[in-house]
């Protein structure tokens, strides 16, 4: 349903379980970046009223997720660490050429966002099904549902604003590219590592 071409190696969860502090810190920043992306889309494309409305709600929802993760960090007697470099996202964002029209740029950003939501959703599903800590597993199950909705929302906006055929073709190409990146990942205790 997510369209991903390469599933994450389930052993990734074993790596994560050995360092819950690390995954929580990385995850907290994923939520913060998702909120930042929503705000940034409002600033760069204010004339797309449907998008602005949706991104307003999304920014709040993602910061709500950030709060939930941060509260869990505090409950464990920990302090939020510094932001980690997200190699996965950095590589992914090199796929579409820079430049082009504002609309082309918008559809590219929407497709990137859709894919990051889809992969995050897949990772949350793995955590929800395999973590020994059942309370944390349940937390990831609820987030998985939210991220699946975000994935469809971003993809639908890209199809709505861009040329449907062109957008679908770009989406398929981006999925192929992402699968290549994923081949080297699934070995670190970060959300996309």
Chain positions contacting Fe ion, by CB under 5 A:
31, 34, 62, 65, 117, 147, 150
Q: Which is nearer to Fe ion, 123 or 170 (CB)?
A: 123
Q: Which is nearer to Fe ion, 99 or 146 (CB)?
A: 146
37 contacts 106 by C-beta, under 8 angstroms: no
Q: How far is the CB of 5 from Fe ion (least distance, A)?
A: 21
Contacts of 86 (CB under 8 A, 6+ apart): 26, 29, 30, 33, 190, 191, 192
Largest Cα–Cα separation, the chain: 51
Q: Which is nearer to Fe ion, 145 or 166 (CB)?
A: 145
Q: Which is nearer to Fe ion, 147 or 189 (CB)?
A: 147
Q: How far is the CB of 165 from Fe ion (least distance, A)?
A: 27
Q: Which is nearer to Fe ion, 83 or 163 (CB)?
A: 83
Give the C-alpha separation, 41 to 92, whole Å. Answer: 18
Q: How far is the CB of 106 from Fe ion (least distance, A)?
A: 18
Q: Which two tokens stand for residue 53?
A: 């409305």
Q: How far is the CB of 163 from Fe ion (least distance, A)?
A: 26
Q: How far is the CB of 115 from Fe ion (least distance, A)?
A: 12
């Amino acid at each position: 349903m997510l369209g991903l071409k390469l599933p994450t190696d389930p052993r990734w969860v074993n790596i994560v379980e050995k360092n819950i502090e690390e995954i929580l810190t990385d995850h907290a920043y994923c939520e913060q970046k998702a909120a930042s992306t929503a705000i940034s889309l409002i600033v760069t494309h204010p004339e797309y009223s449907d998008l602005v409305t949706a991104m307003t709600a999304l920014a709040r929802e993602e910061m709500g997720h950030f709060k939930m993760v941060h509260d869990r960090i505090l409950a464990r007697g920990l302090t939020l660490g510094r932001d980690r470099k997200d190699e996965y996202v950095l590589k992914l964002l090199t796929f579409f050429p820079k430049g082009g029209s504002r609309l082309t740029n918008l559809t590219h950003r929407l497709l990137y966002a859709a894919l990051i939501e889809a992969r995050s959703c897949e990772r949350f599903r793995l955590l929800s099904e395999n973590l020994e800590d059942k309370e944390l597993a349940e937390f990831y199950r609820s987030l998985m549902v939210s991220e699946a909705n975000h994935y469809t929302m971003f993809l639908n906006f890209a199809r709505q604003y861009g040329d449907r055929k062109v957008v679908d073709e770009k989406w398929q190409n981006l999925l192929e590219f992402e699968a290549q990146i994923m081949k080297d990942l699934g070995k670190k205790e970060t959300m996309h590592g």
